[in-house]
Amino acid sequence: MLKNPAAKYRPFPAYDFSERTWPNKRITTPPIWMSTDLRDGNQSLIEPMNAERKMRLFEKLVDIGFKEIEVGFPSASQTDFDFIRKLVDENRIPDDVTVEVLTQSREDLIRRSIESVIGARRVIVHMYNAIAPDFRRIVFNMSKDEVKQIALDGTRLIRELTAQHPETEWVYQYSPEVFSSAELDFAKDVCDAVSAEWGAGPGRKIIFNLPATIECATPNVYADQIEWMHRNLNNREHIVLSVHPHNDRGTAVAAAELGVMAGADRVEGCLFGNGERTGNVDLVTLALNLYSQGVHPGLDFSDIDDVRRCVEYCNQLPVHPRHPYVGDLVFTAFSGSHQDAIKKGFAQRQPDTIWDVPYLPIDPADVGRSYDAVIRVNSQSGKGGVAYLLQQEHGLDLPRRLQIEYSRAIQRVTDETGREVTATDVYAIFRREYLDIAVPYKFVRHRIASTDEGIRVDVDVIYEGQARTLSGNGNGPIDAFVNALDLPIRVMDYHEHSIGIGADASAASYVELRIGESPTGFGVGIDHDIVTASFKAVLSAVNRHMQSTDTADEETADEPVEV
Ligand SMILES: CC(=O)SCCNC(=O)CCNC(=O)[C@H](O)C(C)(C)COP(=O)(O)OP(=O)(O)OC[C@H]1O[C@@H](n2cnc3c(N)ncnc32)[C@H](O)[C@@H]1OP(=O)(O)O
Ligand SMILES: CC(C)C(=O)C(=O)O
Ligand SMILES: [Mg+2]
């Protein structure tokens, strides 16, 4: 028995392919996209799609902009066969869309497959057989020549049958299944022979789809394999070279991207990476990766949640919350430093300029996601996120030291509950902490008058349940009101701004006070009248001080300000 269980696996052999050029290439145009959701995706489901689900997904794929769609394995089931016939008979295939059907290289299956698409305007007939050594030995128990003959026999039959239906434009696709584990010279040998058998040439291209049926090496190895085929296949100009990565090692997206850099013209995959085992390559991620590089993929994911809902319904499988570009949490920042950077990014952003908001590779709005969900608050959050929510939802632009002070109140709640607080919670806590605090002083109304010395205010308050009028003089209203309170108050900082516009506008005032030798603390007031807002802010700070709530001891102001 092996002591080290890993010793039972063989490393993938290295290629000596120093002529590779793909590492220096860039992808500047999108590949031809081919969705195999209705075939490779469907064959991997716990419960394969029924006709209604298949039709729904087909229509969604058309809406997204796919021009090549593998619609099924017609010889596999009556459901697949009937669905494909329905597409053809009811004229449901748009003129610019080509459907594709898959078959093994077996006569009865090929005949049934052709039967399923007779009458369609344009069809890709896709045939496969495995060519890798293990499959030759384990599945077929055949020599190389015999396996190559499977490919040639099937190709010849497809050529003969399709020739009987010239009303359809037939395209042939051959997949040397398990290509990525096969000998390259054998893969070329089989493909060249298939190409000759099909009669590929001017006006009669052939698609060679080179699958990583089981992903078994790092993506650079796949890229080498693709570039080698790209350079060595006969009649390359009459070939559409296609990649079909699976995601066994979790690197299918990288493999597809490097494959395109290595010379592939076309990519087969599924939405959100559905497909056998760990899935086919995710076409959404590939497309939006291109988008984030300034290359329009030619596919429309401007309402990505709608696409996800459809795919989840049809596959009866959920999409992970962290799935690239679409997961519920991918445009969300919980952690404080991320929130801070995102908030600053949005604040500095000018319309119609290059996107450079930190931590967000694309603008969530481009995929129909809203900014509201970008920042969420839990125990990992900092002041930036909290401030962002108040700003976005309520137009409150908190001064920096108040952001610090207030985020501690939030932190207390998230630490106590261990849970996320919503934007609604954030505002409720803000109201409780600053706006609704009315003990011992509750503001009622004020009168203000100019005097020879400056300003005189008379402020009616409820103090500990009793009506009182506080009167004072000063340089300005706040100074006069502070004097009226007759407490050892120093005003350390003051900010105000309007919220909204027109008749509904109100004012927000933020005042930072020190009372005696206590640490400074903020009060906030909101009112249609700016003076009332500032008086409420003063009382809010005084009440908070008197209730001995926490005050900011970090970054506290050093010098009083003139008010
Ligand atoms: C990598 C991929 O995704 S390939 C696509 C796989 N998709 C599917 O298989 C889904 C649909 N498939 C099916 O419904 C069924 O497999 C069918 C209807 C196609 C065929 O069913 P069955 O006739 O019962 O055969 P089964 O699937 O077990 O095939 C095994 C036989 O086919 C042979 N075979 C397998 N692949 C191929 C091929 N591409 N070409 C020719 N023969 C093949 C095997 O050697 C085996 O032959 P044997 O019985 O002489 O040993
Ligand atoms: C049929 C082929 C192309 C396939 O799905 C694979 O090899 O993964
Ligand atoms: Mg596959």
Sequence ranges of the domains in the chain: 32-315, 336-435, 441-546
Tens of pLDDT along the chain (563 residues)? Answer: 668 999 999 999 988 899 999 999 999 999 999 999 999 999 999 999 999 999 999 999 999 999 999 999 999 999 999 999 999 999 999 999 999 999 999 999 999 999 999 999 999 999 999 999 999 999 999 999 999 999 999 999 999 999 999 999 999 999 999 999 999 999 999 999 999 999 999 999 999 999 999 999 999 999 999 999 999 999 999 999 999 999 999 999 999 999 999 999 999 999 999 999 999 999 999 999 999 999 999 999 999 999 999 999 999 999 998 999 999 889 888 888 888 898 899 889 998 999 999 999 999 999 999 755 577 777 777 788 888 889 988 999 999 899 989 988 898 888 898 888 888 999 999 999 999 999 999 999 999 999 988 999 999 999 999 999 999 999 999 999 999 999 999 999 999 999 988 888 999 999 999 999 888 899 999 999 999 999 999 999 999 999 964 444 444 455 656 65
pTM for the predicted model, two decimal places: 0.82
Q: What is the 8-class DSSP label of residue 226?
A: H
List 243's β-bridge partners, or say none: 210, 267
Residue recorded with tokens 């991207």: 257
Which ligand approaches the C-alpha of residue 130 most closely? Answer: 1
Which of 104, 136, 158, 247 is the pocket-test mutation for ligand 1 (most atoms within 8 Å of CB)? 104
CATH homologous superfamily for the domain 441-546: Alpha-isopropylmalate synthase LeuA, regulatory domain (3.30.160.270)
**Is there a binding annotation on residue 244?**
yes
CATH number attached to the domain at 336-435:
1.10.1220.20
* Topology of domain 32-315, CATH: TIM Barrel (3.20.20)
Ligand 1 and 70: CB distance under 6 A: no
Ligand 2 and 128: CB distance under 6 A: yes
Which of 100, 125, 129, 175 is the pocket-test mutation for ligand 2 (most atoms within 8 Å of CB)? 175
For ligand 2, atom 8, the nearest C-alpha belongs to: 213
C-alpha distances in Å from residue 212, one per residue of 66, 177, 209: 22, 8, 10
- Three-state SS string over 130-199 comes to ECCHHHHHHHHCCCHHHHHHHHHHHHHHHHHHHHCCCCCEEEEEEEEECHHHCCHHHHHHHHHHHHHHHC
For ligand 1, atom 43, the nearest C-alpha belongs to: 104
Ligand 1 and 40: CB distance under 6 A: yes
Centre of ligand 2 from the C-alpha of residue 175, in Å? 7
CB atoms near residue 183 (< 10 Å): 12
Which atom of ligand 2 is found nearest the CA of 280?
A: 8
Centre of ligand 2 from the C-alpha of residue 213, in Å? 5
Ligand 1 and 75: CB distance under 6 A: yes
Contacts of 546 (CB under 8 A, 6+ apart): 440
CB 395 within 8 A of CB 499: yes
Contacts of 329 (CB under 8 A, 6+ apart): 321, 322
Which ligand approaches the C-alpha of residue 213 most closely? Answer: 2
- The three-class DSSP label of residue 372 is helix
Which of 101, 102, 268 is the pocket-test mutation for ligand 2 (most atoms within 8 Å of CB)? 102
**Is there a binding annotation on residue 338?**
no
Ligand 1 and 177: CB distance under 6 A: yes
For ligand 2, atom 4, the nearest C-alpha belongs to: 213
Residue 251: both structure tokens together: 């690197």
List 48's β-bridge partners, or say none: none
Which atom of ligand 2 is found nearest the CA of 209?
A: 3
Q: What is the ipTM of this complex?
A: 0.97
Ligand 2 and 285: CB distance under 6 A: no
Q: What are phi and psi of 159, to 5 degrees?
A: -60, -45
**Is there a binding annotation on residue 40?**
yes
